[in-house]
Structures are given as structure tokens and as C-alpha cells.
């Protein structure tokens, strides 16, 4: 049984127990590991998979994005998630952090949303790059400045204010 199949089986048994945000995280994760399973079968090696379209399109990347992509070449510094339990811990931490960041983004104004849209949609910045630019503009304090989850939260809130969905075109 592949990691994808094992995760899917576990989800079928526990779906009713999960909060809506965790369900969303698991759905994204299933798409990622399904893609990774397919690619690994073709290449017989580990691959780096991300839902951030900007990473795939040669977009404006933060210094952290560049470091991560460099480490993918050697595998050094990459963390392999080997079990459903490890993924659950990661998903829980991500969900908690996202909730914190959503609160931090809630007072965003329309003019800020427009700037974030330009960064993400027109300039094609990664989520980390969006977070880093907003941090440098003094719009808040988070760590690290190029925090990917914060970039997602910023894009989510900006898209909301503009009547759009940050997970769909043209945002992602």
C-alpha cells in the first residue's frame, strides 16, 4: 500500500472527526502526495512538490524559496514525512499557525489588498515573497519575514476583500 493509499484509508475512517480547516489541509495534502507518488514511480526518487504556482513558473522568489529549491537538488535539509501521524502533527501546526495569521490579516484595508494582488497576480510572487514584501513594508511582524503560511494568509485575505479566491486563477 502506498503512502497515498494509507493516508486516504485513514481519512475515510476519521473524516467525520476533522474540523473544516483540517479537512482542507488534508485535501491539499492528498493532491500533493498523489502527485508525488506518480512522479516517484516514474523517477524512483524523492521529489519536492508544492501547491504554490509561482514556484513552478519561475516567478519572483524569496531568498527562502531559493534556498529550499537549492536544497531539493541535494536533499540536504529536506524533511521527509513518513507516516500519517507525522503529517497530522504538521497539519495541526499549520492549521494553528494559519489561524493566528488570519487574525493578523483581518484588519487589512482595500488598498493593501490591491498591492498584494499586484504582487501575487501581476508580479507573480511566491507566497513567501509576498510575506517578505509585506513585512518589509511594515504591515506586521512575523517570523521568518518570508513565512509561507503568512503569505498564504495575506493572499487569502486580499482575495476575500476583492471578491476572489486565492486558491484559484488568477491567484494560484
In this predicted structure, what is the pLDDT of residue 44? 44
Report yes or no on 125 lying in a domain. Answer: yes
Note the pTM of the prediction, 2 decimals. Answer: 0.65
Domain assignment present for residue 167? The answer is no
**Confidence at residue 75, expressed as pLDDT on a 0 to 100 scale:** 64
Q: How far is CA 110 from CA 96, 131, 157, 158, in A?
A: 26, 17, 10, 8
Which H or E run contains 13? helix 3-14
What is the SS3 assignment for 163?
coil
pLDDT in tens, the chain (172 residues): 566 666 666 667 767 776 665 666 666 666 665 655 555 555 444 445 566 666 656 666 676 667 766 666 666 666 666 777 777 787 788 888 888 898 999 899 999 999 999 999 998 888 889 999 999 999 999 988 988 889 999 999 999 999 999 988 899 8
- pLDDT value for 28: 66
Residue ranges making up the domain that contains 49: 3-161
- Collapse the DSSP code of 33 into the 3-class scheme (helix H, G, I; strand E, B; otherwise coil) and give the result: helix
Domain count, the chain: 1
Does 10 fall in a domain?
yes
Give residue 60's pLDDT: 67
b/e for 39-77, b at 16 or more Cβ within 10 A? ebeeeeeeeebeebbbbeeebbbbebbeebeeeeeeeee
Amino acid at each position: 500500500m502506498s503512502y497515498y493509499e494509507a493516508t486516504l484509508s485513514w481519512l475515510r475512517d476519521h473524516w467525520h472527526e476533522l474540523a473544516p480547516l483540517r479537512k482542507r489541509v488534508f485535501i491539499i495534502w492528498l493532491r500533493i502526495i498523489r502527485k508525488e507518488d506518480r512522479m516517484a514511480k516514474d523517477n524512483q526518487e524523492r521529489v519536492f512538490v508544492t501547491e504554490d504556482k509561482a514556484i513552478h513558473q519561475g516567478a519572483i522568489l524569496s531568498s527562502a524559496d531559493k534556498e529550499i529549491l537549492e536544497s531539493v537538488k541535494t536533499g540536504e535539509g529536506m524533511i521527509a514525512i513518513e507516516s500519517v501521524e507525522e503529517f497530522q502533527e504538521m497539519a495541526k501546526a499549520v492549521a494553528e499557525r494559519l489561524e493566528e495569521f488570519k487574525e493578523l490579516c483581518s484588519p487589512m484595508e482595500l488598498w493593501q489588498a490591491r498591492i498584494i494582488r499586484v504582487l501575487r497576480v501581476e508580479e507573480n510572487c511566491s507566497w513567501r515573497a509576498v510575506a517578505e514584501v509585506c513585512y518589509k513594508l511594515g504591515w506586521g511582524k512575523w517570523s521568518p519575514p518570508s513565512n509561507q503560511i503568512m503569505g498564504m494568509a495575506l493572499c487569502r485575505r486580499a482575495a476575500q476583500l476583492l471578491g476572489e479566491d486565492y486558491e484559484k486563477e488568477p491567484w494560484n
